[in-house]
A and B are shown apart, each in its own frame.
Chain A
Amino acid sequence: MLLEISSLRGGYKPIEVLRGITMHVDDGEIVAVLGSNGAGKSTLNNTVCGLFPAFGGEIRFEGRDITRARHTDIVAAGLIQVPEGRRVFPNLSVLENLRLGSYRRGRERREQNLEKIFALFPRLRERAEQRAGTLSGGEQQMLAIGRGLMGEPRLLILDEPSLGLSPLLVEEMFALIKRLNEDGLSILLVEQNVGQSLEIARRAYVIENGVLNFEGTPAELLANPQLKRAYLGI
Chain B
Amino acid sequence: MRSLAAIGVFALLIALVPAMVDSGYLLNAIIMTLYAALLGQAWNILGGFGGLFSFGHAVFFGTGAYAMAVLQVNFGWNAWVALPAAMVLGGAVGGFIGALSFRYGLRGSYFALVTLAFAEVFRVLANTFQFTGAGVGLMVPLKESALNMQFGKTGFLYLILSFLIAAQLVAWWIRHSRFGAWLQAVRDNEESASALGVDVFRVKMLAIVMAGMLMACGGAFYVQYLHYIDPHLAFGASVSVQALMAAIVGGIGSVWGPLVGAAALQLLGELTRNLMGDAPGINLIVYGVVLVLMVNFMPRGIVGLATRWKR
Chain A complexes with chain B: yes
Q: Is the CB of A81 within 8 A of B195?
A: yes
Contact of A103 among B188, B191, B198, B253 (CB under 8 A): B198
Please state if B192 and A75 are interface contacts (CB–CB under 8 Å). no
Quick check: which of B3-11, B65-73, B152-160, B178-186 contacts chain A, the rest being far away?
B178-186
List the A side residues contacting B270 at CB < 8 Å.
none
Q: Residues on B close to A: CB < 8 A?
A: 178, 181-182, 184-185, 187-189, 191-199, 253
A93 → B minimal CB distance (Å): 10
Is residue A96 within 8 Å, beta carbon to beta carbon, of the partner chain?
yes
Asked whether, in the complex, the Cβ of B199 is within 8 Å of the Cβ of A92, the reply is no
- A49 in contact with B188 (CB, 8 Å): no
Q: How far is the CA of A151 from the CA of B192 in the complex (A)?
A: 14
- Give me 15 other A-B pairs in contact (C-beta within 8 A), A89-B189, A103-B181 excluded: A75-B195, A76-B197, A80-B197, A83-B191, A83-B192, A87-B189, A87-B191, A87-B192, A87-B195, A88-B189, A89-B188, A89-B193, A90-B189, A100-B196, A103-B197
Contacts of A87 in B (CB 8 A): 189, 191-192, 195
CB A207 to nearest CB in B, in angstroms, measures 20
Q: Which residues on the A side are within 8 Å of B194 (C-beta)?
A: 51, 71
With the chains together, A72 CA to B184 CA distance in Å?
A: 17
Q: A144–B81 Cα gap in the complex (Å)?
A: 49
Contact check, B185 vs A92: say whether CB atoms are below 8 A apart.
Answer: yes
B196 touches A147 (CB 8 A): yes
Q: Min CB distance, B228 to chain A, in Å?
A: 41
How many chain-A residues does the 8 Å CB contact rule pick out?
28
Q: Which residues in A have their C-beta under 8 angstroms from that of B185?
A: 89, 92, 100
CA distance A49 to B198 in the complex (A): 12
A129 to chain B, nearest CB (A): 11
A residues 50-99 in Cβ contact with B at 8 Å: 51, 70-72, 74-76, 80-83, 87-92, 96, 99
* Residues A92 and B191 in contact, CB atoms below 8 Å apart: no
Asked if A104 lies at the interface with its beta carbon under 8 angstroms from chain B, I say yes
Does any Cβ of B come within 8 Å of A40's Cβ? no
Specify which chain B residues have a CB less than 8 angstroms from the CB of A90 in the assembled complex: 188-189
A25 CA to B233 CA, complexed, in Å:
62
Task: List, in ascending order, chain B residues with CB within 8 A of A76's CB.
Answer: 197
A75-B181 contact given A88-B192, A89-B189, A92-B188, CB 8 Å threshold: no
| Residues of B contacting A72 in the complex (Cβ-Cβ under 8 angstroms) | 197-199
What are the residues of chain A within 8 A of B198 when measuring CB–CB? 72, 100, 103-104
Are A105 and B189 also in contact (CB < 8 A) when A91-B184, A91-B253, A99-B181 are? Answer: no
A147 to B191, CA, bound (A): 14
Q: Is the Cβ of B188 less than 8 Å from the Cβ of A75?
A: no
Q: Which residues of B contact A96 (CB under 8 A)?
A: 181, 184
B197's closest neighbor in chain A, by CB? Answer: A75
The contact of B197 among A82, A89, A104, by CB within 8 Å, is: A104
A103 touches B184 (CB 8 A): no
A-B contact pairs, 16 of them (CB 8 A): A49-B195, A72-B199, A75-B195, A80-B195, A83-B192, A83-B195, A87-B192, A89-B192, A89-B193, A92-B185, A92-B188, A96-B181, A100-B193, A103-B196, A104-B196, A104-B198
Q: Which residue of B lies closest to A89 (CB)?
A: B188
Judging by beta carbons under 8 Å apart, are B181 and A101 in contact? no
Q: Name the interface residues of A107-162: CB closer than 8 Å to any CB of B.
A: 144, 147, 151
Instruction: Provide the residues of chain A in CB contact with B195, threshold 8 Å.
Output: 49, 51, 71, 75, 80-83, 87
B303 to chain A, nearest CB (A): 14
Chain B nearest CB, measured from A3 CB (Å):
16
Residues from chain A with Cβ under 8 Å of B197 in the complex = 71-72, 74-76, 80, 103-105, 151
| Identity of the chain B residue whose Cβ is nearest the Cβ of A77 in the assembled complex | B197
What 4 pairs between A and B have smallest CB-CB spacing? Answer: A75-B197, A104-B197, A89-B188, A87-B192
Which residue in chain B gives the minimum CB-CB distance to A79?
Answer: B197
User: Which among B181, B187, B197 has the highest number of chain A CB atoms within 10 Å?
Assistant: B197
Q: Are B184 and A75 closer than 8 Å at their CB atoms?
A: no
A70 to B193, CA, bound (A): 14
Q: Which residues of A contact B193 (CB under 8 A)?
A: 89, 100
**Which residues of B have CB within 8 Å of A100?**
181-182, 185, 193, 196, 198
Bound Cα distance from A88 to B187, whole angstroms: 11
Tell me which residues across on chain B come within 8 A of A92, comparing CB atoms: 181, 184-185, 188
Interface centre among A74, A75, A91, A144 (most CB of B within 10 A): A91
Docked CA distance A100–B181 (Å)? 7
Residue from the set A51, A70, A89, A99 with the largest chain B CB neighbour count within 10 Å: A89
Cα(A144)–Cα(B189), bound, Å: 12
